[in-house]
């Protein structure tokens, strides 16, 4: 297979001027990641700063309601409230050891921005976060958290003013500042080596979850593993160690937007076509002329017209199934999990929980392990405005 | 020899820097665009670079981005560009070059794109998000149609990477003068001289300097190290503020 590809998807479709920093990063993955120094420090940070391993939680009430056996992998319990920190501490430490002084990030929901700000503060680095102007408004609590930890926020006014445009601006900034700055990409997408690098740092989710589930279930594997898919980092982390288990069904959940026919959505695997954006060949929401379409989801972290290339590959081979959940179904899951189990999920993660609720008939009697990628505090304003 | 190279060499033989103006297709309006092209051609452009608008132009600064997005809103697409060029085929003295991003070209179909370039009199293509590693399939599709893929290199391109690009490059080599996006800058970085000298030692085709250029005075330092100058943002700003392409080209004569 060609370097940086997952089947037909992936690659490095990026200006030549960004190739040197990408090659430098690829080099550092080979020379720094495997060293004892990196591994020792990284494992210590995951334990002492993030609080890993994160728990798995059985949901007795919702299991009874739905007629299935529901388990959650609790990435919401991580420091800063989502899976994003697994990646930012890994990339941050790598960048520090590469001699970089600034962490640059894009963010949608603000969770990746917050997690990058944590990493930068811990590692005594500068932090610069690009965020779509729309997201700055709808995820205001996260903007305040980032600023408090010393990050500089740039509100992006171009294009659709969401995650896609924040990535464009961050790439432009990286082009100019590549000598001192590491682009701490927030999801398992973008040009090679990011999809592989981010998976490397997120696969801890399924490494732990697989073992934890088996310990609690007499060595049995779950029947179904579920995660929401924005760019695809919590999902690839949740899927990775289950991919070789043929008995485990793998389900990724994309955001359908309002769910009305023809509405803006964030479901490129279900509704998109092959194309090239942000350095990768993948599935995209686009016009027949190749212009990228605006996306929509009530969950800002899913609001993206593309998806990581490994998911495009798992979709093409059929190893994973990708379904859609709409805004209303996600809100219902947000409320249901809060009410029945006392856990307030992020709106992104609510899409994964909603899968178990909406598909309960076909899941009857099965064990379902859902990645609860983040907590929902950041989403109270969005949900309040609807309730 | 690719027409872009011969036009640049013609200018060079006259002791001039060859001129490569850039305009997004459909700018400043559908009709006026073709008039601007005529003016640029009449004012002695060696190559005219036409931008194919894209929703997510990551290599472009705010001026080009804004102009391209407006053209997109006006419904400009590849079909419109090819139709207009085919209708005017043979009327331009300058060689024609299309510049853009891979996705619209990919959706159009590479072979159809190459064939339409040939039919429209286009002899070159710049794809801003296509480094050497991914360029094989595009080069292969363009070659039968006589369309050259113009390499972009810059201040951070190593000698080894320059050699990768030089191996089968045709037309000219585009040297990006800054580590950044398109747009005007008051001064150009010092290191350009050193890197241009390196590029000269490796490329046998002409070298054009672009990004941030607005006036011939900026080029005084680089005499002999480059053969052509590309200007986009400065020309766009000039036209957007009510001036003509002809006026813009005057100081360059
Ligand atoms: C809690 C949470 N889950 C999921 C996502 C989606 O990202 P990814 O698909 O990379 O996991 C985000 C993104 O911001 C998020 O904040």
Give tens-digit pLDDT for A172-212: 999 999 999 999 999 999 999 999 999 999 999 999 999 99
B189 contacts B178 by C-beta, under 8 angstroms? yes
CA distance B106 to A270: 21
Q: Is residue A105 helix, strand or coil?
A: strand
Q: Where in chain A is the domain with CATH 3.40.50.1100?
A: 13-46+84-198, 51-81+203-386
CATH fold of the domain at B3-247: TIM Barrel (3.20.20)
Q: Quote the CA–CA distance of B215 and B209 in Å, as a whole number.
A: 12
Distance of CA A175 to the CA centre of its chain: 24
Question: Quick check: A384 pLDDT over 90?
Answer: no
Q: In this predicted structure, what is the pLDDT of residue B223?
A: 87
Please choose, from the candidates B38, B55, B40, B151, the residue with its C-alpha nearest in 3D space to the C-alpha of residue B103.
B55
Indicate the residue of A16, A19, A277 with minimum beta-carbon distance to B56. A277
* pTM for the whole structure: 0.97
Residue A192, pLDDT score? 98
Per-residue model confidence (pLDDT) at position A180? 98
Reported in sequence order, the residue ranges of A75-218 that DSSP labels E, i.e. its strands, are: 102-107, 126-132, 152-156, 181-183
What does the pLDDT read at residue B218? 86
Chain-chain contact of A172 with B158 (C-beta, under 8 angstroms): no
Question: Could you report the per-residue pLDDT of A314-347, keeping only the tens digit for each?
Answer: 999 999 999 999 999 999 999 999 999 999 999 9
CB A92 within 8 Å of CB A28 = no
Sign for the CA dihedral angle at A20, A25, A28, A34 comes to negative
* Inter-residue contact A306 to A284 (CB < 8 Å): yes
Q: Is B67 on the interface with A (CB under 8 A)?
A: no
Q: What tokens does A364 get?
A: 């009857």
Task: Say which of B102, B107, B181 has its CB closest to residue A289.
Answer: B107
Task: Return the percentage of chain A with pLDDT > 70, whole number.
Answer: 99
In this predicted structure, the answer to whether residue A296 has a pLDDT above a threshold of 70 is yes
Distance CA A79, CA B101 (A): 40
CB atoms A279 and B129 under 8 Å: yes
Question: Which residues have a Cβ under 8 Å from the Cβ of B131 and sit 6 or more positions away?
Answer: A12, A13, A14, A15, A16, A19
> Top-level CATH class of A51-81+203-386?
alpha beta
* Dist. CA B25–CA B52, nearest whole Å: 6
Q: What is the mean pLDDT of residues B32-57?
A: 98
Note if B31 is an active site residue: no
**CB of A11 within 8 Å of any CB in chain B?**
yes
Q: Average pLDDT, whole number, for chain B?
A: 95
Distance of CA A260 from the midpoint of ligand 1 (Å): 23
Mean pLDDT for A277-305 is 96
Q: Are A103 and A96 in contact (CB under 8 A)?
A: no
Q: CA–CA separation, B83 vs B119, rounded Å?
A: 10
Nearest-CA distance A244 → chain B (Å): 30
- Per the prediction, chain A carries an average pLDDT of 97
Give Cα A111 to chain centroid, integer Å.
10
* B47 band by pLDDT with thresholds 50, 70 and 90: very high
B130–A contact, CB cutoff 8 A: yes
Nearest CA in chain A to B76: A289
Q: What is the CATH number of domain A13-46+84-198?
A: 3.40.50.1100
Residue of A nearest to B133 (CA): A12
pLDDT tens sequence across B216-243: 888 888 989 999 999 999 999 999 999 9
**Structure confidence at residue B41 (pLDDT):** 98
Q: What is the per-residue pLDDT across A120-130, written as a single tens digit (0 to 9) for each?
A: 999 999 999 99
Q: What is the average pLDDT across B60-79?
A: 94
For the question of residue A359 being annotated catalytic, the response is no
pLDDT at B11 over 90: yes
User: pLDDT value at position A114?
Assistant: 98
Which of A95-99, A225-229, B248-252 bottoms out in mean pLDDT, i.e. has the lowest?
B248-252
Q: Are strands A273-277 and A152-156 parallel, antiparallel or unpaired?
A: unpaired
């Amino acid at each position: 297979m060609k370097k940086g590809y997952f089947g037909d998807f992936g690659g490095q479709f990026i200006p030549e001027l960004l190739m040197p920093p990408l090659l430098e990063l690829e080099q550092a993955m080979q020379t720094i990641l495997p060293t004892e120094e990196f591994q020792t420090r990284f494992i210590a940070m995951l334990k002492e700063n993030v609080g890993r391993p994160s728990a798995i939680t059985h949901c007795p009430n919702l299991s009874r309601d739905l007629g299935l056996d529901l388990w959650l992998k609790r990435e919401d319990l991580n420091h800063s409230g989502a899976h994003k920190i697994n990646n930012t501490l890994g990339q941050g430490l790598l960048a520090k050891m590469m001699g970089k002084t600034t962490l640059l990030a894009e963010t949608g929901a603000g969770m990746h921005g917050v997690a990058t700000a944590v990493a930068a503060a811990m590692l005594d680095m500068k932090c610069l976060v690009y965020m779509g102007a729309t997201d700055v408004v709808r995820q205001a609590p996260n903007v305040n958290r980032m600023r408090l930890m010393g990050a500089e926020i740039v509100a992006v006014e171009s294009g659709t003013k969401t995650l896609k445009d924040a990535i464009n601006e961050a790439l432009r900034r990286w082009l100019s500042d590549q000598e001192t700055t590491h682009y701490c990409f927030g999801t398992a997408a973008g040009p090679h080596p990011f999809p592989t690098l981010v998976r490397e740092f997120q696969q801890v989710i399924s490494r732990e979850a697989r073992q934890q589930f088996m310990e609690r279930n007499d060595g049995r594997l779950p029947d179904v593993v579920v995660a929401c898919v924005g760019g695809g980092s919590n999902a690839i982390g949740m899927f990775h160690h289950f991919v070789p288990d043929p008995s485990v069904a793998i389900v990724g959940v994309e955001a359908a937007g309002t769910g009305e026919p023809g509405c803006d959505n964030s479901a490129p695997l279900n509704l998109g076509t092959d194309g090239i954006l942000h350095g990768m060949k993948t599935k995209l929401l686009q016009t027949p002329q190749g212009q990228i379409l605006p996306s929509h989801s009530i969950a800002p972290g899913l609001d993206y017209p593309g998806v990581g290339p490994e998911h495009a590959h798992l979709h093409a081979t059929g190893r994973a199934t990708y379904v859609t959940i709409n805004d209303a179904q996600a809100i219902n899951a947000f409320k249901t999990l809060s009410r029945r189990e006392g856990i307030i999920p992020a709106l992104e993660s609510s899409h994964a929980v909603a899968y178990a609720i909406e598909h309960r008939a076909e899941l009857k009697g099965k064990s379902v392990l859902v990645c609860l990628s983040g907590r929902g505090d950041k989403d109270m304003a969005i949900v309040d405005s609807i309730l | 020899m690719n027409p872009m190279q011969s036009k640049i060499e013609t200018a060079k033989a006259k002791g001039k820097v060859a001129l490569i103006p850039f305009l997004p297709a459909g700018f400043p309006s559908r009709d006026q665009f073709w008039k601007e092209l005529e003016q640029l051609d009449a004012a002695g452009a060696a190559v005219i670079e036409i931008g194919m608008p894209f929703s997510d132009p990551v290599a472009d600064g705010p001026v080009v981005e804004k102009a391209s997005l407006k053209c997109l809103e006006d419904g400009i697409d590849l079909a419109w560009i090819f139709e207009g060029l085919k209708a005017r085929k043979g009327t331009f003295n300058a060689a024609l070059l299309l510049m853009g991003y891979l996705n619209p070209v990919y959706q159009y179909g590479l072979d159809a794109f190459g064939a339409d370039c040939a039919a429209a009199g286009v002899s070159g293509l710049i794809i801003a998000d296509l480094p050497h590693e991914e360029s094989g399939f595009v080069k292969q599709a363009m070659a039968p149609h006589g369309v050259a893929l113009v390499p972009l290199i810059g201040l951070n391109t190593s000698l080894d990477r320059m050699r990768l690009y030089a191996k089968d490059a045709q037309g000219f080599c585009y040297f990006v003068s800054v580590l950044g996006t398109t747009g005007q800058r008051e001064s150009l970085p010092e290191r350009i001289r050193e890197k241009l000298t390196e590029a000269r030692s490796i490329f046998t085709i002409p070298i054009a300097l672009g990004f941030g250029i607005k006036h011939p005075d900026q080029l005084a330092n680089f005499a002999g190290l480059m053969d052509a100058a590309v200007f986009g943002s400065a020309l766009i700003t000039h036209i957007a503020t009510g001036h003509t392409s002809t006026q813009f080209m005057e100081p360059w004569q």
